[in-house]
Structures are given as C-alpha cells and as structure tokens.
C-alpha cells in the first residue's frame, strides 16, 4: 500500500471512529448546555449501552436491531434516573458538588459492571453472524471501505440528523433550547423545566447507548472500563467543537477521530491518545469557546 | 381575580417582601410603583411561581397559586413580561413567539394570534427570522410583550416594560398596554415611571421596602402630596 492509499484508509477509519466520538460528545454537550454540568458518568453510560446490547443479543437472543434500540432505551431510563437521584438535588448547590456526584456515579457504574461480568473483555458476536457479510469496496488508489464502516457512519449520521431535527423543529427541542438559555423565562412560557432536563438526559444518553452498541459491533469487544478513554476523547471533541454546541460536538468528534487516525497513518500510533489530549489543552488555552463556540450573548 | 394575601418572601437571609397584600379585579390595570429594591419584581415572581413565599397566600379566581409550579400557573391564564425583557437571544423572533404559545394546542388559533401580534408589531414580522439577541431594546420589549400575549392570558403581569427605552417608545408601549387592556386582558403593571403608570392605571399600590405604603385610585394617587413628592418629582 502506498502513502495515498494508506491516507485514505486512515481517513475512513478516522471518520468511523470519529462518528462514535461524536455520538458520545453530543450527550456531554447537551447536558452541559442545559445544566452546566460536565457529566463525568457519560462515558459509563456509553459502556453500559454496549453491555446491554451484548446481553440482549447473546442472552436474550433478540435481533441486533432490537438490541440496538433496547440499549438506547435502557440508557435513556438509566440516565433520567441518575439525573433525578444524583444531580437534581444538587442543582442549586455549587457546580463542583454535582461534578463530584457525577464522578461518583461513573465509579459506581464501571465497578458494578466489573462485578457483574468481570474484568475480562467480552466478545461481541460478529456482525457476519447477526446481520450481514462484510464486503469491501474499492475506492481510489487501492484504498477500500467495508460495509461495517459504511453501517457505522450511516447509522451515526441518521442519529445525528434525527437529533438536529428534534432540536431545531420540534416543540420539545425548542423548549430544550429555551431552557438552556434561561430557566426562569422558560418556566414563564409554561415549560416544565425539570421535564425538559430529563428529556435532554434521555436523548443524549440514548445516543451514547447507540454509540456503545456500534462500537461493540465495530471493534468486536466490550469491557467494563471501555467508557473511560472514549468518554474523555468525546469530551475533548465536545470542547473542540465548542461545549454546548450540537453541530460543534458532531464536527469535533469527526475531526478528532480523523486527526487520531492520521497520527497513526504517519507512524505515530503510540501517540494517538496524547495527540487527542494535546488538542484539548491547546483548545482550552487558545480558544476555550471551541470551533463553534457562540458566546455572543451573555447567558442570563 | 387576583388576591395577594400578606406574602413574605426571602432570598436567603435577605427579606425582599415583608407582608404585601393587594388585589387585581378583572378588567383593571393596576400599577405597582416604588423605588428600586422595594419588592416589585419579587411580588410578580411570586405570582408567577418563580419564588415561593414563605408565608401568605396567593389566590387566582379562588384557586390557590401559592404552591403551584410556575408552568402550571401559565396554564391558568397568567403570563408575564419579565424585567429586562429576557427574550431567548439565540432563538429567532418566530421561535420566541412560539415559546409563548408553549402551553397551547389549538394550532389554528395560535396562527391567528401570531398574525395579530405581527399586526400590532410590524417590526417583529419584518425580523421574524432574525435572532432575538440581535434586536434593539425597543424591539426586544415588543417581542417580550408579544411572546407573553401568545399564551392568550387573562392576566398579564408586566415588569417595567418602559425601562431603558427612548421617550417616543415609552409612549408607544403605554399606548399598547392600554390597547391590550381594552381588548379584555387584565394588567398588573410594575413601573418606575410612576407618572405614566398612574395615567393609565385604574388603581395603584406604592411599595416601600417590601411593604405597601400607600394605595388607592390612580387619579387620587397622582394628586396625593406624598406620592407627588416621592415618585412624581413635583
Ligand atoms: N435573586 C436575589 N437574591 C438576593 N436578593 C435579591 C434577589 N432579587 C432581589 N433581591 C433583593 O430583594 C429586594 C427586592 O428586590 P426586587 O423585588 O427586585 O425590587 P424591585 O423590583 O422593586 O426593584 C432588594 O433588596 C433586592 O436586592
Ligand atoms: Mg424590579
């Protein structure tokens, strides 16, 4: 394989990986947008999503599509409960209190899964057995893309377009935006602010659950601590795009995935994580509002 | 229609309202006037359910509002134009108006009401796709009023709608308040501009440090020596 071909292959890998970062990053950014909390448990919600998907496919023998939707639903309900139990009582306290609570939830979830299934990686049934045979297609310069990558990218794209539709066009989505701009005034419109915050957690976490199952299918293994690193990278992606910005999280995720795989392409694969977090530090130093940061109007 | 009975409100240790009572009858314009920090905004926030009085009661047509959540109070037919306008800056004019109609389900009537608002404020229609944060102060005030009207309120609470506006616009806003009232909406108006407020109100209450100091018919209040000295600069 020559350089161009390798470049294209890694670009595709980067977009696929970046799509999963984007799915997770959306939850960080939505929750931050509405309650100004960096939800440290979000990476673990993604991990739980992957395990729920695995359990549904292997133990309950349901179709992968049902397992996918089931994992999304489970993550929704779990995140809504977490918000009510662990964050809502702290909403009027200092922000650090809720942050610590989130870290606590993150530790509880990863340890709970460790306890239930053990620390060994669990293999996800191969997509070839449960959905379709993986075929590869030739692109230019001898580079190839396979059906699994196409699946991952398309499903992520559909979810993100769906999210954009909800947020831009539906009544709930508009209420989410209004609430994220001004709680009191949102309440004066007749918006049930608590309910809208629940919806936000539900939607963000459904996306993380979807991401978990997709990653399970794509990489073939899931593990109790798999939420940690992608969680932090997705957070980086959200900051890179501009925390609070939904398009920012989408592009930030893709850009980060591509940069990471490009690092691999030029032969620095052992530095891929360092590069990702280097970007986080650079963004925070140079442009804390990120690529799509929109601090034009001050928050009331 | 609205009856505030001896409410007390605290923010932490700060006592903002200390035993205020007043009434608003259907069809009236009632003015609440008083210096900065007198407790006017806090009184409106209590009615809307944004703060909970620690003592006292609020009734709306014999239904107790005191412990009702804010979003339910809007459903009862009470909406508010908050102090400082508080439009949603990152949403368009149209979306801001839609938010005003959040509790309603009658799609066709909402459309009609939106048309009426655009007739009343043609500037808003010209700018309907513009972000509310980019509007001028006067336009934002019109949007805040339009948005509050979109819930089709029976009682409209207005908190200093003339604040920070040029004299021409102040006139315009007061004209609009009178029109809204003559079309059947009861109004509770908080104002620093006491002269203008008294000129359009039926009755008025003067608040001083969290209590009602003087109250009565607006016309009589405008002639009251104390009120003239303290609030009308005469
Ligand atoms: N959020 C708040 N936290 C603490 N104190 C407040 C808050 N809002 C108002 N206050 C205090 O409550 C008192 C009444 O304020 P307010 O109701 O805003 O008066 P007005 O609208 O008449 O100017 C003032 O002393 C003010 O400083
Ligand atoms: Mg005030």
Please report which confidence band the pLDDT of residue B147 belongs to, taking 50, 70 and 90 as the band edges: very high
Q: Which two tokens stand for residue B89?
A: 């800056």
Query: What Rg value do the Cα atoms of chain A yield, rounded?
Result: 19
Asked if B79 and A186 come within 8 Å (Cβ–Cβ), the reply is no
> Is residue B82 within 6 Å of ligand 1 at its C-beta?
no
Per cent of chain B over pLDDT 90 is 92
Q: A185: nearest CA in chain B? A: B86
Using the mean position of ligand 2's atoms as its centre, give its distance from the Cα of residue A176 in Å: 27
Could you tell me the pLDDT band of residue A296, with boundaries at 50, 70 and 90? Answer: very low
Interface of A with B in 162-201 (CB under 8 A): 171, 174-175, 177-178, 181-182, 184-193
**Cβ of B37 less than 6 Å from ligand 1:** yes
Look at residue B80 and tell me whether its pLDDT is greater than 50: yes
CA B211 to ligand 1 center in whole angstroms: 13
Tens digits of residue pLDDT in A68-114: 999 999 999 999 999 999 999 999 899 899 999 999 999 999 999 99
B112, B62 contact by CB (below 8 A)? no
What would the CATH number be for the domain defined by B2-77+154-231? Answer: 3.40.50.300
**pLDDT (0 to 100) of residue A257:** 94
Report the gap between the CA of A170 and the closest CA in chain B (Å): 11
Segment B76-85 mean pLDDT: 97
- Contact criterion met (CB below 8 Å) for A230 and A215: yes
Average pLDDT, chain A: 91
Which protein residue has the closest C-alpha to ligand 1 atom 11? B16
Encoded tokens for B5: 């009975």
**Higher-confidence residue: A273 or B144?**
B144
pLDDT of residue A300: 37
pLDDT higher than threshold 70 for residue A294: no
Domain range list for chain A: 3-235
Q: φ, ψ for residue B33 (rounded to 5)?
A: -120, 170
Ligand 1 atom nearest residue B12's Cα: 4
Task: Note the pLDDT of residue A266.
Answer: 85
CA of B47 relative to ligand 1 center, distance in Å: 15
Of the candidates A182, A192, A296, the beta carbon closest to that of B88 is on A182
Gap from B74 CA to chain A (nearest CA, Å):
5
Domain ranges of chain B: 2-77+154-231, 89-152
- Cβ-based neighbour number of residue A199 at 10 Å: 21
Angle between helices A193-219 and A42-58 (to 10 degrees): 60
Confidence grade of residue B234 (pLDDT, cut at 50, 70, 90): low
What string of DSSP letters covers A238-285?
HHHH-TT-HHHHHHHHHHHHHHHHHHHHTT-GGGHHHHHHHHHHHHHH
What residue has token string 């409410």? B7
Q: Helices A228-241 & A42-58, crossing angle to 10 degrees?
A: 130
pLDDT in tens, B86-100: 999 999 999 999 999
Task: For residue B203, give the H/E element and its range.
Answer: strand B203-208
Per-residue pLDDT band at B150 (split at 50, 70, 90): very high
Q: Assign B107 a pLDDT band (cuts: 50, 70, 90).
A: very high
* Predicted confidence (pLDDT) per residue in B28-61, tens digit: 999 999 999 999 999 999 999 999 999 999 999 9
Give me the mean pLDDT over the A247-266 stretch: 92
CB-count exposure of residue A84 (10 Å: 0-12, 13-18, 19+): middle
**Is the pLDDT reported for residue B217 higher than 70?**
yes
Nearest to B99 among A189, A193, A297 (CB): A189
Measuring CA to CA, which residue among B5, B4, B29, B27 is closest to residue B174? B29
B80–A177 CB contact, under 8 Å: no
Burial, A135: exposed, middle or buried (Cβ in 10 Å; 0-12, 13-18, 19+)? exposed
User: How does pLDDT run across B167-197, given as a tens digit for each residue?
Assistant: 999 999 999 999 999 999 999 999 988 999 9
- Ligand 1 binding pocket includes B16 (Cβ within 6 Å): yes
Q: CB distance A191–B151 less than 8 Å?
A: no
Contact: B71, A174; criterion CB under 8 Å: no
Å from CA of B26 to ligand 2 middle: 24
Whether chain B has a CB inside 8 Å of the CB on A91: the answer is no
The ipTM value here is: 0.95
B48 alpha carbon – ligand 2 mean position (Å): 14
Q: Is B133 close to A300, i.e. CB distance below 8 A?
A: no
Under 8 Å CB pairs connecting chains A and B tally to: 72
Verify whether the Cβ–Cβ distance A175 to B71 is below 8 Å: no
Atom number in ligand 1 closest to CA B43: 17
Q: Is B42 in the pocket of ligand 1 (CB under 6 A)?
A: yes
pLDDT in tens, A30-53: 999 999 899 999 999 999 999 999
Confidence check: pLDDT of A127 > 90 = no
* Confidence at A297, pLDDT banded by 50, 70, 90: very low
Residues 40-79 of B with CB under 8 A from A: 48-50, 69-71, 74-75, 79
Residue B213, SS3 per DSSP: strand
């Amino acid at each position: 394989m020559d350089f161009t071909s390798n470049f294209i292959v890694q670009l595709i890998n980067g977009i696929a990986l970046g799509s999963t970062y984007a799915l997770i990053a959306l939850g960080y950014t939505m929750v931050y947008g509405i309650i100004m909390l960096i939800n440290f448990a979000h990476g673990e919600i993604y991990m739980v999503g992957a395990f729920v998907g695995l359990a549904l496919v292997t133990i309950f023998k349901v179709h992968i599509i049902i397992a996918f939707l089931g994992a999304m639903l489970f993550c929704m309900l779990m995140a809504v409960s977490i918000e009510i139990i662990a964050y809502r009582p702290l909403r009027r306290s200092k922000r650090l209190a809720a942050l610590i609570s989130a870290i606590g939830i993150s530790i509880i979830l990863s340890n709970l899964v460790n306890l239930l299934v053990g620390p060994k990686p669990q293999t996800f049934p191969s997509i070839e057995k449960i959905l379709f045979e993986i075929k590869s297609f030739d692109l230019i310069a001898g580079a190839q893309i396979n059906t699994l990558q196409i699946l991952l990218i398309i499903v992520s794209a559909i979810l993100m377009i769906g999210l954009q539709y909800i947020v831009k066009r539906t009544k709930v989505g508009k209420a989410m935006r209004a609430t994220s701009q001004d709680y009191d005034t949102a309440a004066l419109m007749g918006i049930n602010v608590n309910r809208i915050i629940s919806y936000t957690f539900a939607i963000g976490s459904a996306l993380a659950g979807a991401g978990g199952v997709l990653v399970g299918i794509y990489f073939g293994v899931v593990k109790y601590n798999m939420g940690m690193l992608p969680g932090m990278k997705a957070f980086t992606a959200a900051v890179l795009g501009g925390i609070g910005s939904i398009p920012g999280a989408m592009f930030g995720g893709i850009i980060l995935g591509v940069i990471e795989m490009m690092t691999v392409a030029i032969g620095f694969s052992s530095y891929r994580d360092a590069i990702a977090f280097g970007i986080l530090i650079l963004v925070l130093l140079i442009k804390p509002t990120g690529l799509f940061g929109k601090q034009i109007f001050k928050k009331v | 229609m609205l009856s505030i009975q001896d409410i007390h409100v605290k923010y932490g240790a700060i006592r903002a309202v200390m035993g205020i009572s007043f009434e608003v009858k259907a069809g009236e314009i009632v003015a609440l006037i008083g210096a900065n920090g007198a407790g006017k905004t806090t009184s409106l926030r209590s009615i809307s359910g944004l703060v909970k009085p620690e003592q006292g009661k609020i009734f709306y047509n014999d239904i107790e509002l005191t412990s009702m959540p804010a979003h339910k109070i809007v459903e009862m037919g009470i909406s508010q134009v908050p102090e400082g306008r508080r439009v949603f800056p990152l949403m368009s004019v149209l979306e801001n108006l839609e938010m005003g109609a959040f509790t309603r389900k009658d799609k066709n009537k909402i459309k009609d009401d939106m048309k009426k608002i655009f007739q009343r404020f043609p500037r808003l229609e010209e700018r309907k796709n513009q972000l509310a944060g980019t509007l001028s102060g006067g336009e934002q005030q019109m949007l805040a009023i339009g948005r509050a009207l979109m819930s089709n309120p029976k009682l409209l609470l207005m908190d200093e709608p003339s604040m920070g506006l040029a004299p021409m616009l102040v006139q315009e806003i007061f004209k609009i308040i009178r029109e809204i009232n003559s079309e059947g909406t009861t109004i509770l108006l908080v104002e620093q501009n006491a002269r203008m407020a008294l000129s359009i109100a039926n009755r008025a209450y003067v608040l001083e440090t969290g209590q009602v100091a003087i109250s009565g018919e607006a016309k009589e209040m405008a002639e009251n020596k104390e009120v003239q000295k303290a609030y009308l600069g005469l």
